[in-house]
Structures are given as structure tokens and as C-alpha cells.
Structure 1
């Protein structure tokens, strides 16, 4: 069975999705995810904000996993790439779950930058979708994407070198006249 010719387009799509997903996860970890009014004693009521990394400490490790997934997608092939794709797809689903877990659409304290709250979670959701898509695409196209060092591996079909004299004798044995060639 011959393997299909490798195409670089799916590999670059996977790499782009994972890099963009990692950058968006890191960015969303720095943005505000929630805000609450809190009693600060003498100072009165203050607006306490919580960033993405305060909400869930998994955002930055998921971003690092996505970056490591780029190296894995480029370097591996076959079933290791499929396993990596499944791990990345699960990580993308996890990021999506973190983004939507605990979201509220009302009851914000006065002075709350509501658009910032939804921007942080929305960016994490988009990042999770990108990592999920990169993982699924890596799993689907595991055989057709090129892998690192594939051009230096031994060919699967061995070409036999034929001696011209042997070919002439075989032609005579089969009843052909080799001078007619």
C-alpha cells in the first residue's frame, strides 16, 4: 500500500491554528474575566477584578501545550501524530469549557467594564476552538502531512538495478531478438 503524497497545506494550517490558539490563550489569561464589588472596610466598596489566570490557572499551561503541539505536529507522523491530535483536541475542549464555565450575563456592579469581561472569555473560547480544530486536523491528515526528516528515510519500494547484459540474455531466453531494439 502506498502512502499519499504529502501536502504542506494541512501542516501549515495546523501550525497556524495552534500558534494563534496559544497566543489567544495567553492573551485571555491576562484580561479581566470577572468583577465584583467588595467591602474594603474604611475605603468603602471597591471593584475587585479577576483576570483569566486568577479564574483558572490552566490557561497558560494550555497555551504552552499548544506551542509544544506545533513541534510535535511537525516532527511526528502516523499514529504518534494522531495521538497528539487527540490530546490537542481535548485541550481545546478544556479551554472552551473554562471560557464558558461561570459566565453570567447580568448583575454586574456599577462601573464594571462589561465588554472587557466578555472579551477575555471570548478570546479564550476562540483559542479553544482553534486548538480543537488544529488537533482534529492533525488527527485527520496525519498520513498526508509531511513529517520532519521524511526525505532522508529509506524508500519503501526497493528499485532493482538491472544489468544490461542480463536483460539481453533474458530477452534471448524468451525468444526475442535483442538486436531489434
Structure 2
């Protein structure tokens, strides 16, 4: 008696796919939002305007954050068209982008910009070096929002790579002409597939279709 060949895992893990999409969108929103917030401020004395506050946003200090956010948003659309190895490659790229965003954000937290860098970044101050009496650089919690977004994106990427064999092929209905999906053993699902294929809703699937 010969053993039957192992069947490929059914692509029905819609919950995992939903979590991946949600993670990518949440990561993109967090990185984009964090990039638009102020990360560091410093008080700078001027000769004509007194003491002014110079601030810099995350995108001004690290433009890569906006690029990663755009990549995550594009990855959501790519999930529809890709499957198999291509989807896993997409997951690896998203994971690397998430790691890069987290590392760059943490590096700014660990080594904040100098007062001179912030003074010349905003408020119209062309200050090549920190003037006398400049205050200390003060940070905000915005970088941690970027780190959180990067971690969420990384988790979504890992889930995509690990669960890809069970993720539904969203673009399967657009397969090349002549390609037919495997018949379903569920009568209700077969009826929906019959309707989706353009069949008459008043006539059920032909015998042998389910």
C-alpha cells in the first residue's frame, strides 16, 4: 500500500493575513506620525529676537522614517498581487526596513543632536556653531513612537514570512484564462464560487462541481 503524497497546506489563514495588514498599516501610521512630531528642542539666544526655541522633527533629522512608512503602505497593496517566494521576499524587505527604522531612531535617542545642529535646523537660524548661552537639548517621547511602529512592522514581517504557506492568495480570482481552482467540498462555498464565476444564481452548481 503506497502512502498518499502530503497535501499542500490549505491557504485559509485569513486571520493571520488580517493581522499582517493591520500591522503594516499601524507601523506606517506610527512612523509617519512620529516623523511629523518634534523630537528635540533647544533654547537659543539671539541678538534681535531674544531667546527662541529651535526644534526639529523626526523626518528632518532622519528622512528615512518617511521612506519606511511609504514602503509599509506599499507592501499592503503588494500582498494582493504576490504569493509564495515573492511574498516571503517582501516580508524580508519589510523586516529589514523595520529594523533600520528602529536602529536609527534609537541611535538618535542615545546620541541626541548637538545644540548647533538643532539651532541651524529650524527657526531661520543660520548658526554654524552653538552661540554663547545656548540651552541644553531637550528630547520628547516622539522617537519611541517611531520605535514602536518599527517593532510592529517587524512583527508583521515575521508573521508574513512564517505563515505565508497558509495565507490566502488574494489575486487567485485573476488567474490566467483556463486555470481552474480545485473544487470545493463545501456545498455553500461551491455555490458562492459558482455565482462568482458568473453562473446563474437560480441554478445551483452542476453535479461534480462540489
TM-score greater than 0.5 by the shorter chain: yes
* 2:87 pairs with one of 70, 81, 90: 81
Runs of 5+ unmatched residues, structure 2: 1-5, 116-134, 184-210
2:109 is paired with a residue whose SS is coil
Alpha-carbon distance in 2 for matches of 1:138, 1:74? 13
Alpha-carbon distance in 2 for matches of 1:74, 1:9? 15
Equivalent residues, number? 153
Alignment RMSD (CA, Å): 2.6
Q: Confirm or deny: 8 A CA contact 1:73 1:138 kept in the other structure.
A: no
Q: What is the TM-score when the length of structure 1 is the normalising length? A: 0.75
- Deviation at residue 101 of structure 1 after TM alignment: 1.2
- Deviation at residue 147 of structure 1 after TM alignment: 1.5
Corresponding residue for 1:178?
none
Corresponding residue for 2:73?
67
Q: Does 1:122 align with 2:144?
A: yes
Higher percent of residues as helix: 1
2:48 is paired with a residue whose SS is helix
* 2:48 pairs with one of 38, 42, 46: 42
Alpha-carbon distance in 2 for matches of 1:17, 1:84? 14
Distance 1:86 1:105, change over 3 A: closer
* 1:10 pairs with one of 5, 16, 23: 16
Q: Confirm or deny: 8 A CA contact 1:11 1:73 kept in the other structure.
A: no
Alpha-carbon distance in 2 for matches of 1:62, 1:53? 11
Q: Does 1:154 align with 2:176?
A: no
Q: What is the TM-score when the length of structure 2 is the normalising length? A: 0.65
Q: Does 1:132 align with 2:154?
A: yes
Q: Confirm or deny: 8 A CA contact 2:102 2:146 kept in the other structure.
A: yes
Distance 1:66 1:143, change over 3 A: same
Q: Confirm or deny: 8 A CA contact 2:42 2:137 kept in the other structure.
A: no
Distance 1:75 1:43, change over 3 A: same
Q: Confirm or deny: 8 A CA contact 2:80 2:171 kept in the other structure.
A: no
